């Protein structure tokens, strides 16, 4: 019987063996167990200096900040205007009022997320795109009871990115339903 050169001696007095020694003696220590954890794609962005995310499944396209948006008189304050995209007219909404965030000063800048929810498709103006990433569903937590009453109807989960930063995952269905009802 040949001894495995990777295994060191067992502490014979106590019968203790390290995990590495046990793996070396009983199998392939290089084997990796791949566990599939459900993930969700998120589009991370900022509005009013706060961090938010939308589910990637709701975002069809990210349009550049130079995409022309045309003002249309008589639209609600939450509608920035409309844009012409590949032969279709799409509205562009601002979430500032709905989320009770300060409106940006001057001409709106930033990218536009083209979002499908609540039976409509519309652009959502964001101030800064941070990332598009896949996140394990297990890191998404239920929103706390202490979340402000203006945000709580629209936040489906929180992601505590680190000790100092949390990000709110917005519920696109709730946002667009509220928009359709004229709440924003």
Q: What is the pLDDT of residues 144-176, one digit of tens each?
A: 888 888 899 999 999 988 888 889 999 999 999
How many of the other CB atoms lie within 10 Å of CB of 125? 24
- In tens, the pLDDT along 59-86 reads 999 999 999 999 999 988 889 999 999 9
Q: Is the dihedral of CA 145, 150, 154, 158 positive or negative?
A: negative
Quick one: pLDDT at residue 163?
Answer: 84
Q: What is the pTM of this model?
A: 0.77
**How many CA within 13 A on the CB side of residue 34?**
1
Report, as an integer, the average pLDDT of 76-99: 91
* Percentage of the chain lying above the pLDDT 70 cut: 80
Return d(Cα 63, Cα 133) in angstroms, integer: 18
Q: Is the pLDDT of residue 130 over 90?
A: yes
């Amino acid at each position: 019987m040949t001894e495995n050169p990777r295994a060191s001696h067992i502490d014979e007095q106590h019968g203790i063996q390290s995990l590495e020694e046990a793996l070396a003696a009983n199998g392939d220590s290089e084997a990796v167990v791949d566990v599939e954890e459900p993930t969700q794609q998120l589009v991370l962005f900022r509005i009013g200096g706060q961090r938010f995310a939308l589910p990637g499944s709701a975002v069809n396209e990210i349009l550049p900040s130079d995409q022309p948006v045309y003002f249309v008189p008589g639209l609600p304050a939450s509608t920035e205007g409309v844009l012409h995209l590949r032969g279709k007219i799409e509205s562009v909404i601002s979430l500032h009022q709905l989320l009770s965030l300060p409106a940006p000063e001057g001409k709106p800048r930033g990218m536009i997320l083209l979002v499908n929810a609540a039976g409509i498709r519309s652009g959502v103006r964001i101030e800064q795109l941070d990332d598009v990433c896949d996140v394990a569903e297990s890191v998404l937590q239920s929103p706390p009871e202490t979340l402000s009453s203006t945000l709580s109807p629209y936040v489906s989960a929180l992601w505590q990115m680190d000790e100092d930063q949390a990000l709110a995952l917005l519920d696109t269905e709730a946002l667009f339903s509220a928009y359709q009802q004229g709440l924003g």
